[in-house]
């Protein structure tokens, strides 16, 4: 039997990415990152992101096809991130996927970006249900329970800023550059958590609020400078990282027990964080829960994860018409509504 070939496109933020799978196996994974172009603004500029996706999509597609040694007429379905993400950026990927599906008369598969982040773990280990997914990125912070494949229930989320956004804003006030997660993670290892900072974990349930922590750190840095006092940057990074990640891990542990999960999956850009990875690896096995920790290439945005989830969506017959639009605020539970 011929093995199904899926070509997937991702353009929800600042990575233009195309990946190809055959029989679920990854043949190519081309990523064109715009980070260098956004660095001078200290964050992603949405309009610039859309323009760069338009410039980069064709050669990224060409690279993925050449790397996989696949022709467009051999592709069985075209998958694309429909949301959540930046509206203009999403439109570029969607337009490319629609055009290809139309020309080659093949199904168009609409893919939820965060659900795909969770499915990235399948490149290292099969998902085991029920599972808890800790989805932490520049735009999202969610605790998701999955009872089975393609079943998502958000039990907790941030009420304001995402954890990655908080890392980036703290890095900005400390002049550590963009994106802020990597330098803070690196400096935190050389410091001690001596600063007392407010926890982003809300008292009840599984929700978070990161804006209070962000504002507290920004005020602390500005006030210390104004008083002409010395700031211990490694210690501040260690304190920030500890309070931010501890909140995620402690709520995750509580949720994992309440929902009796077998596995915990970490997903999204912040899942590259060394302290989060070591805490999950240390704490969850102690309560008999298997950690699924994807390699770093799987954590940040790419299209391999879009293709992985698209294979499951294809089996369910989740195909879109050519009037498909993007949804910057698409909820994970609504992934069948498009």
Q: Which residues bind ligand KG4 (CB under 6 A)?
A: 13, 137-139, 164, 167-168, 179-182, 185, 268-270, 272-273, 300-301
Residue 5 or 187: the one with the smaller Cβ distance to ligand KG4 is 187
Exposure class string for 12-27: b at 16+ Cβ within 10 A, else e: bbbbbbbbbbbeeebb
For residue 211, the minimal CB distance to ligand KG4 (Å) is 15
Query: What is the strand order of the sheet 290-292 is part of?
Result: 153-157, 141-146, 131-136, 263-267, 290-292
For residue 262, the minimal CB distance to ligand KG4 (Å) is 25
For residue 197, the minimal CB distance to ligand KG4 (Å) is 16
Pairwise CA distance, residues 200 & 78, whole Å: 39
Residue 14 or 75: the one with the smaller Cβ distance to ligand KG4 is 14
Residues contacting residue 49 through CB under 8 Å, at least 6 positions apart: 13, 14, 34, 38, 86, 88, 89
For residue 201, the minimal CB distance to ligand KG4 (Å) is 17
For residue 163, the minimal CB distance to ligand KG4 (Å) is 7
Residue 168 or 279: the one with the smaller Cβ distance to ligand KG4 is 168
For residue 25, the minimal CB distance to ligand KG4 (Å) is 24
Q: Is the peptide bond before 68 cis (omega within 30 degrees of 0)?
A: no
Residue 320 has φ and ψ, to the nearest 5°, of -110, 160
Residue 110 or 181: the one with the smaller Cβ distance to ligand KG4 is 181
Residue 75 or 291: the one with the smaller Cβ distance to ligand KG4 is 291
Residues contacting residue 173 through CB under 8 Å, at least 6 positions apart: 217, 218, 221, 222
Q: Which two three-digit tokens encode residue 36? A: 């260098």
Residue 78 or 167: the one with the smaller Cβ distance to ligand KG4 is 167
């Amino acid at each position: 039997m011929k093995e199904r070939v899926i070509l997937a496109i991702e353009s929800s933020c600042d990575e233009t990415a195309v990946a190809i799978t055959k029989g679920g196996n990854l043949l190519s994974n081309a990523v064109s990152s715009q980070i260098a172009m956004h660095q001078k603004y200290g964050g992603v500029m949405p309009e610039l992101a859309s323009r760069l996706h338009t410039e980069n999509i064709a050669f990224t597609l060409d690279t993925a096809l050449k790397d996989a040694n696949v022709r467009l007429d051999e592709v069985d379905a075209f998958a694309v991130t429909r949301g959540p993400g930046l509206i203009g950026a999403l439109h570029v990927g969607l337009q490319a996927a629609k055009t290809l599906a139309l020309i080659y008369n093949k199904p168009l598969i609409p893919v939820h970006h965060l659900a795909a982040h969770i499915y990235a773990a399948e490149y290292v280990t099969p998902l085991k249900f029920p599972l808890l997914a800790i989805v932490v990125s520049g735009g999202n912070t969610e605790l998701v329970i999955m009872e089975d494949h393609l079943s998502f229930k958000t039990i907790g989320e941030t009420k304001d800023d995402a954890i990655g956004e908080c890392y980036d804003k703290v890095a900005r006030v400390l002049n550590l550059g963009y994106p802020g997660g990597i330098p803070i993670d690196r400096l935190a290892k050389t410091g001690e958590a001596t600063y007392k900072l407010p926890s982003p974990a809300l008292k009840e349930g599984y929700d978070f609020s990161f804006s209070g922590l962000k504002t507290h750190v920004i005020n602390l840095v500005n006030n210390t400078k104004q008083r002409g006092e010395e700031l211990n940057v490694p210690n501040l990074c260690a304190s920030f990282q500890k309070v931010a990640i501890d909140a995620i891990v402690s709520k995750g542990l509580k949720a994992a027990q309440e929902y009796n999960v077998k596995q915990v999956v970490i997903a999204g850009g912040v899942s590259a964080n060394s302290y989060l990875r070591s805490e999950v690896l240390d704490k969850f096995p102690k309560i008999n829960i298997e950690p699924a920790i994807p390699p770093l290439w799987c954590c940040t945005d790419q299209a391999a994860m879009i293709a992985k989830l698209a294979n499951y969506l294809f089996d369910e017959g989740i195909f879109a018409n050519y009037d498909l639009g993007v949804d910057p605020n698409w909820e994970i539970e609504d992934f069948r509504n498009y």
